[in-house]
Amino acid sequence: MSGSPPPAGGFVRRIGLFQAAAINMSQMCGIGPFVTIPLMVAAFGGPQAILGFVAGAVLALADGLIWAELGASMPGSGGSYVYLRQAFQYRSGKLMPFLFVWTAMLFIPLIMSTGVVGFVQYLGYLAPHMGRTTGDLVGLAMIAVVIGLLWRGIEHIARITAVMWVVMIVSVLLVIIASATHFSGHMAFTYPAHAFALNTSHFWTGFAAGLTIGIYDYLGYNTTAYMGAEIKTPGRVLPRSIIFSILGIMAIYLLLQIGTLGVIDWHRMTDPQDIASTSVASAVLEKTWGKGAADTVTVLILITAFASVFTGLLGGSRVPYDAARERVFFRPYAKLHQRHRFPMWGLATMGVITAGGFLIGRHTDLATLIQLLTTVMVIVQALAQIVALTVLRSRQPGLRRPYRMWLYPVPSIVALVGWLVIYGYADKNSPGRHPIEWSLAWVALGLVAFALWSRYEKVWPFGPKEISEEYLEGADPDADPNADAEPAPVPA
């Protein structure tokens, strides 16, 4: 998901540890924390909501160690697509990588649509009389502008990402500093009665909702795994970039959450009529430094939201392109725009789904949208990768593993429990929305699509399996930083 087509000779390994960690952190901390703090407070029913960010960090670390071992062992372009292809090819051919791309076509644009919802929410602070219909039109117009810019071909993506990183950091730091100047420990650490009643179903339902929101805020810690073919000495850099970025963002989130709770009464965040429920960062700045400062930070947050959608769709459109180019997805998605050389079908499809997800989020709520995208992601990516790590240790014991998971299999078990809690409580936390049923329906539709595709392509189960163990037999990228990033496939 590097955001630019590979050079003619393949990817070049030029990204070091600092750059890799910054890439992860810029993807992790977009608009998310600015819109989810009130959601977290509502889920827990008080300032004990900080538990959600801590639990999300624990799950992100456990899952990040899975990504770290897989990414260091198979540092190619594609992330989950590569890992699932390598692990499950022996029994089910190309089914699992196909299903990953199929689900990614849904959950990636749904993640982007949360950014659009956040954009409209914070725009509401600057335009308080903006109606629902106007907000819908503004969000759709924003998506159209993003697609229009990407359709013309954008070359200096690194500069855009750098600007996004700076604006995001400035926005977060301003909110944290403003909170520190007017912080009330009594407000931040006074909990309602029975806030930690672990023997009640109410607590665990709220905890599951908070865990879902927490892991959503940490999503992006795996970005460098998708860019494995561009990471220098990936066996060392890739695992560290994942772990360092999670720890860094955890510190930022905790300061942001605690600081916000120390300035804004948490009851305001649960009142849909209060601006603190939709634009909590603006409310913090207004109370501490005045309306002018609040307006300025709100503009910065709007820029962050726009940039996150821009870079997310740019990178996300590469997923079906890479798969189709390697004959693991529908062939039209391998087509590049004739003039600007970008994957137009992937971009167009994800643009439409982003618009649909935005309207769902606007006419239900943001928490429902987060539940939908996480349940879809859990089945084929999160759970399947836990299995993939164990399968590869058995199927390819000779695979180079410059990084091996600490305390294996404990992190895998922690990640498994965490993802199952998120999935199992999804319907309870979105009553009447049925995210579990929708996720299963999407996967079932993916199975039908795979059957049609595999029959047309004459691959398993309608043809021979294609076994490729290129990472088992290819050159060691850690031994020679200038070695080719992508090893040549080994014929079946």
Count the Cβ atoms, other than its own, within 10 Å of residue 464.
10
Half-sphere exposure for 457 (CA within 13 Å, toward CB): 23
Rounded to whole angstroms, how far apart are CA atoms 460 and 90?
11
Q: What's the pLDDT band for 15 if we cut at 50, 70, 90? A: confident
pLDDT in tens, 195-214: 898 888 889 999 999 999 99
Tell me the average pLDDT of the chain. 88
Q: How many CB atoms lie within 10 A of CB 38?
A: 28
DSSP 201-222: HHHHHHHHHHHHHHHHHHTTTT
Is 50 exceeded by the pLDDT of residue 484?
no
The whole-angstrom separation of Cα 69 and Cα 81 is 15
What is the mean predicted confidence (pLDDT) over 277-289?
95
Q: Which two tokens stand for residue 9?
A: 């000779």
- The predicted-structure confidence for 409-459, as pLDDT tens digits, reads as follows 999 999 999 999 999 999 998 988 899 999 999 999 999 999 999 999 999
CA distances from 441 to 67, 375, 379, 447 (A): 27, 11, 12, 10
Q: What is the DSSP track for 58-82?
A: HHHHHHHHHHHHHHHHS--BTTHHH
pLDDT of res. 476: 77
pLDDT of residue 118: 93
Cα gap 103→440, rounded to integer Å: 11
Q: What is the percent of the chain with per-residue pLDDT over 90, rounded to a whole number?
A: 64
Q: Is the model more confident about 355 or about 472?
A: 355
- Separation of alpha carbons 389 and 81, rounded Å: 13
100-122 tens-digit pLDDT: 999 999 999 999 999 999 999 99
| CATH superfamily of the 17-462 domain | Amino acid/polyamine transporter I (1.20.1740.10)
Structure-token match 């908070």, residue found: 210
Q: Mean pLDDT highest for which of 9-13, 166-170, 250-254, 382-386?
A: 382-386
Q: pLDDT of 446-462, one tens digit each? A: 999 999 999 999 999 99
Q: Is the pLDDT of residue 154 over 80?
A: no
- Say if pTM beats, i.e. exceeds, 0.75: yes
